Amino acid sequence: MDTRRDAPVPNEQIVHELQGKTCFACFVYSWLHSLKSWSLLKTRGDSNRGEVLPPLVSKQYEVGAKYDINPNLLLSTALFRIEKANQYSDLATPIPSYVQDGLQVHNGVELVLTGKVTDNLTIMGGHSNGYQCGKIQ
């Protein structure tokens, strides 16, 4: 089992900016490949307690847009997809094991509004859910 913590984790981002006389907007595409270091199983009751699982690998894709409504108000929105290894207790009898098997897929949308209230205070609020749904493959 490979438990290295030094594997390359590539990512890329493309930003296209539009600037008009009264507005500023940009469109963003990003792709991120991440690696979460291995984990030691500490769950009580699992038959493989104390074993080391391989690192979790995940991929994230995002496409979005940002729009300056006015100099003090920014609207951001994005569609995203996250794919990562699935971990779970297999509920085997007589003693379950904690395993990595399959792929979790999360698709969703996020909307964020950022406002500059004063020179020293900016408030940010948003929602990330919409059609978000987790699926095991």
Q: Contact 53/39 with Cβ under 8 angstroms?
A: yes
pTM score: 0.68
Tell me how many degrees the CA angle 16-21-25 measures, rounded to the nearest 5: 25
Phi, psi (rounded to 5 degrees) for 19: -130, 120
Res. 32: pLDDT tops 60: yes
Give the single-character DSSP code of 44. Answer: T
Beta-carbon contacts of 32 under 8 Å, excluding residues fewer than 6 positions away, are: 9, 11, 59, 60, 62
Q: How confident is the model at residue 122 (pLDDT cuts 50, 70, 90)?
A: very high
Task: Specify the pLDDT at position 111.
Answer: 93
pLDDT over 80 at 114, yes or no? yes
pLDDT, tens only, 56-89: 778 888 888 888 888 899 999 988 888 888 887 8
Amino acid 31: pLDDT: 74
